[in-house]
Amino acid sequence: MTVQAFWKATKVENAQPPYDTIQLKVFYPASAPDTQQTFSSYPADQAKAPFPVVILFSGVNCNLAMYEWLALKLTARGLVVILFNWLAENIPGNISLTPGVDLAALSPDVYGTVPTASALPSLLAELEQLNTFGILAGLLDLQKIILGGHSGGGRVALESANTKFFSQVAAAFSYGAHTAAPIQIGYESSTILSLPNSVPMLLIGGTHDGVIARNSSIYGIDEWATAATPVVRTFREAISREQGDSYLVVIEGANHFSIVDRLDSTLPAAALDFPSSQPQTQIRSIIAETVGLFIDLHVRQQLKASEQLELLLEDNSLIASFECK
């Protein structure tokens, strides 16, 4: 399958300029044109439509280019994938690339009543436009939207995957993300915040996640029992849905940035991470295949993906642990 991409931009309501613009890169399955078109986009492969849509939320200060490898893998399976950059001042005085975190929505008296992903309404509105005009007009399945993300972006993806807020959302996945509650905004230490239970969820973590391990004090913990502990606790304590479509996968030797293939060494978080003890290319292959099969099974209802997912995760030396409920 040919994968192509194009750029778009959209405004975020209530954000103050110049920090009110999101830049999107839209990856889609394409058909090669009959003639060479140097500057024109290839047409979408309409035979594969309608396309479910993955919106991927980056980690804080992580450029979308770090996740293009995953977008290419998922698009090759017949999905449309949205990556985006948003430079914003989520924390006063701190300008950063952000997945869009509504900090007020995390407070104890508000959490769970509104989505925490502040970029999501604008992204969903842009999807409506993409399905009305241009290359993808009429080709998107806007009732099958998957929210995914890494680190802080994974957290807002999971927390906002609530059909009460967004009826279009069909599933969610994350890597290196959890819902431990920061004590500085009023939570007791070691608190794990609940997640919505309206859609299937996939949580992936790594045994060598130094960023999670070394940030335990934010949550009132001297030291997590393991680097994957808050991810495991989030799966076990935050998800009450038990329909056989929620998964926890812990990858042996994977660190916080195993999900990226272009690590920016200037990121402060990069210095916190532990070295991976397994080849990163193999870890990324496991991540992409797990996410792809999860979507195939629980969004696209491809029943053969159930056996494929089971074979991938069981008796695999790269899988430290695997749970389903």
- Per-residue pLDDT tens over the stretch 297-313: 999 999 999 999 999 99
> What are the tokens at 261?
């293939």
User: Which pLDDT value is given to residue 52?
Assistant: 98
Of 37-46, 79-88, 176-185, the poorest mean pLDDT is in 37-46
| CA gap 105, 100 in Å, rounded | 12
User: Which pLDDT value is given to residue 34?
Assistant: 63
Domains of the chain: 2-34+52-324 (3.40.50.1820)
| CA gap 251, 313 in Å, rounded | 10
- Quick: pLDDT tens for 160-176: 999 999 999 999 999 99
- Quick: pLDDT tens for 141-163: 999 999 999 999 999 999 999 99
- Quick: pLDDT tens for 201-252: 999 999 999 999 999 999 999 999 999 999 999 999 999 999 999 999 999 9
DSSP secondary structure, 42-96, as one string: PPB-GGGPSEEEEEEEPPTT--GGGGHHHHHHHHTTT-EEEEEEEEEEEETTEEE
| CA gap 67, 132 in Å, rounded | 27
> What are the tokens at 287?
């991540």
Strands 21-30 and 2-11: antiparallel
